[in-house]
A and B are shown apart, each in its own frame.
Chain A
Amino acid sequence: MNLFDYARPTTVEEAIAAWAPGASYLAGGTNLVDLMKTGVMQPGKLIDLNRLAGLDRIESLANGDTRVGALVRNADLAHDAGFARAFPMVAEALLSGASGQLRNAATVGGNLMQRTRCAYFQDAHSACNRRTPGAGCDARGGDNATMAVLGWSDSCIATNPSDFGVALAALDAVVEVEGPQGSREIAFADFHLLPGQTPDRETALAQGELVVAVRLPAASAQLRHHSRYLKLRERTSYAFALVSAAAALRLEDGHIVEARLALGAVAARPWRANDAEALLIGQTPSDELFKRAADVALTGATPSGDNAHKIELARRTAARALALAAIGTPKRMPAFPASLFGEHAHV
């Protein structure tokens, strides 16, 4: 047996105190346990977060922000009526991910921290700079049709697979963290790191730091009437995104006064497209406008392998998501959330 220590703290302080180099926090386990089975992750110690008190709550704060504890399950968050009303795009993104069983187990913190699905990362026998700095990158020149088209580097071309994260990126989420050095907040845009020469550094978390909550600002709820998540995938459900887009607008008198756009599965982080947003402000919605914005969003995109098609598909997905957002958030969650085959998927 491959032995490891197992700790089951009941408070955040205990959890952080239990941390030592080589330890991993365990939440729903849907990603970590798989990777342990295949030998990709071999923590010397598991710190089980599931008994931590108070991290499973969705709260409205005095300033109007919404605070979601790191242990709230993906399914519980998506099905929380108040949350889904304020942030329907987040709920749609969550429900488009994985399967019902997985969403029941997966947590908010675990979702943000999930590792890339790069096949070479997930295979302990391939060379991977992200797993072993300096080892090389077998994805380059390999089977890489789904890899990054933005923000990649010579050392790593992997993407962040989360759907949830794309919606959070668009809505200016803030990640609350506690660690050996105390607590701090990280803007979502700064949370996931681009690979550069250090792809092994995936997030802004320092050693031993724990995600305790994700906060969504009250202002982002103002976008709820025009917000959509759209996910292109190889089957109708239960597939990671080929590309995806989260789009949200605030309209006044037929003009766009606020715009948010983030792309998924195109880079090592959920890709916020600030320049495209800027272009939209003050304009009246039109397909032509959204196509231009999407072009801007993909500025600088380059294939990292046999994946040039992803650039065009991301462009089209972004334009469609914006157009759908302009029409308005559907009153009810589509039967296939974020799918082209749900209702309300067309313009």
Chain B
Amino acid sequence: MSDTRPPASRFGSNSGQSFTRRDGIAKVTGTATFAADNHPDGLLYAVYVPATIARGRVSHLDVAAAKAHPGVAEVITPANRPMLDGDPESKGFMFAFRFEALQDNTVRYANQPIALVLGETLEAATEGARLLNPQYEALPARVGLNGDTPYKVEVGSFGRPGQTVYGDVAAGHAAAVQSVDLTYETPEQYHNAMETHAVVAEWQGDHVTLDMPNQAIVMSRGAYGYYFGIPPENVLIRSPYLGGGFGSKAIPNGPTVLAILAARMTGRPVKLMLRRDQMFGPVGHRGATRQRLRLGIDAGAKMTVLDHESLATTSTFDDFVESAANASQGLYAAGALRSAQYGVRVDAGTPGPMRAPGEASGSAALECAIDEMAEKAGLDPLEFRLRNYAETEPGTGLPYSSKALRECYLRGAERFGWSKRPMQPGQMRDEAGMLVGWGMGTALFHAPMFAAKARAVLRPDGTGLVETAAADMGQGAWTALAQIAADSLGLPLDQVEFRSGSSDLPDGGVAGGSGHTATAGGALHAAGSDAVRRLADIATADPASPLFGAGNAGVTARDGRFFVIDDDSRSESYADIIARAGGTEVVGTGSAARTPEDAGHHAMYSHGAVFAEVKVDPELYQMRVTRLVGAFAAGRIINPKLAESQLMGGMIWGISFALHEEARFDKRTGRIMNADFAGYHIPVNADVSGLEVITIHEDDAHVNALGIKGVGEIGVVGTVGAIGNAIRHATGHRIRRFPIRIEDLLHAALG
């Protein structure tokens, strides 16, 4: 696919090209240094002790036994835990989450830290943790969507509205000639990046160095500074590589803060790396949802109302709610539109952002409901979606900054062969007798910009250096951002050194919300352009230069040289210009952010359409996704190979959501009983076949200077619903609970 890309997707000479990731060899040969690969002298190993009840209090810890174990250096419990300067129960800064850091003996969820053991070896600390042999006074756990009384959410996660209404919803319901009223459920899911959370903390006086995977490198300085009472500048965070983040590595958590505290308490560097099972609790997850969707249509099958309510689990002590109902905003034209979020407090860790937070769960339900409505209307699912295509943002009426969704539908459908889809379910079989079904879903994801800064340097030898504290979670920031920077400097990629992943560099913003390339890339572009402008000023003002008099706007930068526009014979290299000007490097700075005015004039989203084929055994109901075609329009694509990988990764995540992932709770104890990779299923290679991604170029003059939207999360969106719809099409059974399991189809078949 990459070689047939339209020229429009190329700007400069680096962007638009499918460069292989620059950190790939270091990663596959094991030379890339991840946080836990650091072993400073004098290191102590920390193991946190997870609560094995979900609610109650710790009544006893056998500290003496743990301390007596050879190699145990310290045991930290609420009884001796040094004070933190910032209260973990407080909301001391933007995006602060409350967390447990041994402030008292209360247990609010299973796997909450109740002690931290430090050892000279990991083994000693592990055994010390076991010897603590916690005793509890347990109370009955409240888990699941029926765990407690729902409450209405006024302000949702990240300040998004909890309740949104456009138009007259009651009138929309009344005007409907046909309607559906459907309830869907999605389970708790736990992010499980390959690299579990890790930190190596080392103090020098009132300065601390943190080697840790971090999605918000510079912002986190302030957060850790807050808890430890030191200015942000005193916190150095080094996060060159992350083995995945998915939203869970942007927010401080109890075990990490305790490890940093332990390093200050002992005066020795401390390393903590979570075990796999410890990922299921203190570091965020996606809450379960129960969503009610009421849709009505008029005689022309246009929606008179799209009414989406969502109830989601959250913790007893903080407020993050998976805002699933918001998935119905911005996408389909409907006479009236309502998104209402409700929360229910359960004895679990606080949920947090997990890849496509809100959109993933919300789209899963919405896209199935859309198909159910289409089926009732007797329309092909694609035809129904096209009839309800929004030309302007529903509710606000804002124009879209760009929206090639129609092309996504058409190109995706064509590639998939959608036109051959029989309307009735249960019509298709393969040669082996498997039921075959086809389904689709629409994908939508907002295209945000955060704030970032960058620095660019043209060196005396004509090469470039760019710096920004961006985060490469495996998505390819080391490569795509360097491509942008190289173009802004008018240099080939291999002439640009890219420094990133450290908090002493200019703020690269948050790697989240699918806005990192746009934001950090925007800052790099501005910084590189600034450096080039400064150098052009020097050259064009220098009578000795062949560029003299051409004026800043009269030259163009390419391949490490300036050329006079329209006269390639007049040119000079960066190195020559700098040498004549005294040999000092030329420094540019830049920043990027979206102004409120820009934001107010357009609705900005990435779009996509996902088509799924599933096969289902007609008697045994084992399911497999055999083909997924996703067509996505996400502005300008900087690196097609990396973008396609991201989109594929998102679609695979969608398979996982649709068919596999689910934390299984013991309802009596509130503990998760499948907290390992043998039990918490995600797709394996054999579950992933026939994956195809099409990217559709959009020129977008409004999202940002580079016309970049995001690709990190949208692959998940749409895919889940497409698979649910395909299973319905294969079997005739509509399962309204994810993940769809063999026994769900069996029960549906047996009636």
Mark A residues whose CB is within 8 Å of B: 1-2, 39, 117, 119-120, 123, 125, 138, 141-143, 145, 232-240, 242, 309, 312-313, 316-317, 320, 336, 339-341, 343, 345-347
Knowing A142-B666, A340-B620, A340-B622 touch, does A232 contact B742 (C-beta < 8 A)? yes
Stretch at the interface among B31-39, B304-312, B675-683: B675-683
Contact of B684 with A238 in the complex, beta carbons under 8 Å: yes
Give Cα A316 to B664, complex, Å. Answer: 26
Task: Indicate whether A119 sits within 8 Å of B674 (C-beta atoms), given known contacts A1-B121, A235-B683, A316-B619.
Answer: yes
Q: Are A240 and B123 in contact (CB under 8 A)?
A: no
Once the chains bind, are B678 and A312 in contact (CB under 8 Å)? no
Which residues of chain B from 697 to 723 have any CB-CB distance to chain A below 8 Å in the complex? none
- Supposing A145-B743, A234-B742, A236-B686 touch, asked if A2 and B123 sit within 8 A by C-beta, the answer is yes
User: Inside 8 A of B52's CB, which chain A residues have their CB?
Assistant: 125
Q: From known contacts A309-B746, A320-B619, A340-B620, infer whether A234 and B678 are also in contact, taking CB-CB under 8 Å.
A: no
708-751 of chain B: CB within 8 A of chain A: 741-743, 746-747, 750
- CB of B660 closer than 8 Å to a CB of A: yes
The answer to whether the Cβ of B492 comes within 8 Å of any Cβ in the partner chain is no
Interchain residue pairs with CB less than 8 A apart (18): A1-B70, A1-B121, A2-B127, A120-B673, A141-B668, A142-B666, A142-B673, A143-B665, A232-B620, A232-B742, A234-B741, A234-B742, A235-B684, A235-B687, A237-B686, A313-B742, A340-B617, A346-B434
Q: Which residues of B contact A343 (CB under 8 A)?
A: 432
B71: Cβ under 8 A from any A Cβ: yes
Q: 10 shortest A-B CB distances, which residue pairs?
A: A236-B686, A237-B686, A309-B743, A119-B673, A346-B432, A125-B52, A1-B123, A346-B433, A238-B684, A143-B673
The complex places the Cα of A234 from the Cα of B624 at a distance, in Å, of 10
- How far does the alpha carbon of A332 sit from the alpha carbon of B750 in the complex, in Å? 36
Contact mask for chain B residues 643-669; partner A; CB cutoff 8 A; 1 contact, 0 none: 000000000000000011000111110
Q: Is the beta-carbon distance between B679 and A236 smaller than 8 angstroms?
A: no
Asked whether B622 lies within 8 Å of A240 as measured between CB atoms, the reply is no
Whether B124 pairs with A313 at a CB distance below 8 angstroms is: no
**Min CB gap A197→B, angstroms:** 24
What's the nearest-Cβ distance from chain B to residue A154, in Å? 18
Secondary structure call for the A interface: loop
A239 CA / B685 CA spacing, docked (Å): 12
Verify if B516 is at the interface (C-beta below 8 Å from A).
no
Is residue B615 contacting chain A, with contact meaning CB distance below 8 A? yes
Given the complex of chains A and B, what is the CA–CA distance between A233 and B622 in angstroms? Answer: 7
* Cβ proximity bits B304-325 to A, threshold 8 Å, 1 near / 0 not: 0000000000000000000000
Task: Report the Cα distance A336→B743, complex, angstroms.
Answer: 22
Give the distance in Å from the alpha carbon of A289 to the alpha carbon of B127 in the complex: 57
User: Do the beta carbons of B620 and A320 come within 8 Å of each other?
Assistant: yes
A145–B593 Cα gap in the complex (Å)? 51
Q: How far is the CA of A313 from the CA of B744 in the complex (A)?
A: 12
Q: B130 contacts the other chain (Cβ, under 8 Å)? A: yes
B678 x A117 contact (CB < 8 A): yes
**B122 to chain A: closest residue by CB:** A1
**Residue of A117, A339, A340, A346 with most chain B CB atoms under a 10 A cut-off:** A340
Complex alpha-carbon distance, A336 and B747, angstroms: 27
A1 contacts B71, CB within 8 Å? yes
Of B124, B660, B747, the contact of A309 (CB 8 Å cutoff)? B747
Name the residue of chain B whose CB is nearest to the CB of A98. B678
| Contacting residues, chain A, for B434 (C-beta < 8 A) | 340, 346
State whether A341 touches B624 (Cβ < 8 A).
yes
The total of chain B residues at the interface (CB under 8 A) is 42
How many CB-defined contacts (below 8 Å) exist between A and B? 94
User: Nearest Cβ distance between residue A256 and chain B, in whole angstroms?
Assistant: 22
Rounded to whole angstroms, the CA-CA distance of A317 and B621 in the bound complex is: 11
CB nearest neighbor in B for A1:
B123
Q: Tell me, rounded to whole Å, the shortest Cβ–Cβ distance linking B530 to chain A.
A: 51
Other CB < 8 Å A-B pairs besides A143-B667, A313-B743, A316-B620, 4 of them? A142-B666, A234-B742, A235-B683, A242-B742
A138 to B667, CA, bound (A): 11
The smallest C-beta distance from B428 to any residue of chain A, in angstroms, reads: 15
User: Cα distance A272–B624 when bound, in Å?
Assistant: 30
Residue among A1, A238, A316, A347 with the highest chain B CB neighbour number at 10 A:
A1
- Looking across the interface, which residue of chain B has its beta carbon closest to that of A145? B743
Q: Is the CB of B620 within 8 A of A317?
A: yes
Cβ–Cβ < 8 Å partners of A39 in chain B: 130
Query: How long is the Cα–Cα vector from A236 to B617 in the complex, in angstroms?
Result: 12
Q: Are B432 and A312 in contact (CB under 8 A)?
A: no
The CA-CA distance from A233 to B660 in the complex, in Å, is 11
Q: A249 to B52, alpha carbons, bound, how many Å?
A: 50
Contact B665 A345 (CB under 8 A): no
Q: How far is the CB of A236 from chain B (nearest CB, A)?
A: 4
Residues of chain A within 8 A of B432, CB atoms compared: 343, 345-346
A236 to B614 CA separation, bound complex (whole angstroms): 13
* Chain A residues within an 8 Å CB radius of B433: 346-347
Residue pair A237, B684 in contact (C-beta under 8 Å) = yes
Give B432's nearest chain A residue, CB to CB: A346
Whether B743 contacts A236 by the Cβ 8 Å rule is: no
* Interface 1/0 per residue, B20-58 and A, CB below 8 Å: 000000000000000000000000000000001000000
Q: In the docked arrangement, what's the CA distance between A119 and B71, Å?
A: 32
Distance from A21 Cβ to chain B, minimum over Cβ atoms (Å) = 22
Q: How far is the CA of A316 from the CA of B617 in the complex (A)?
A: 11
Chain A residue at minimal CB-CB distance from B660: A235
Report the minimal beta-carbon distance from A288 to chain B, rounded to whole angstroms. Answer: 14
Residues of B within 8 A of A141 (CB): 668
Most buried by B among A235, A238, A239: A235
Is the beta-carbon distance between B615 and A341 smaller than 8 angstroms?
yes
A234-B741, A346-B432 known; A313 vs B746 contact (CB < 8 Å): yes
A341 touching B622 in the complex, CB below 8 Å, given contacts A1-B124, A143-B664: yes
A47 to chain B, nearest CB (A): 21
- Nearest Cβ on chain B to A151's Cβ, whole angstroms: 21
User: Cα distance A308–B622 when bound, in Å?
Assistant: 17
**Contact between B742 and A235 (Cβ–Cβ < 8 Å)?**
no
Chain B residues closer than 8 Å to A347, beta-carbon distance: 433
Query: Once the chains are docked, how many angstroms separate the CA of A120 from the CA of B668?
Result: 13
User: Which residues of B are found within 8 Å of A1, using beta-carbon distances?
Assistant: 70-71, 121, 123-124, 127
In the docked arrangement, what's the CA distance between A339 and B619, Å?
Answer: 14
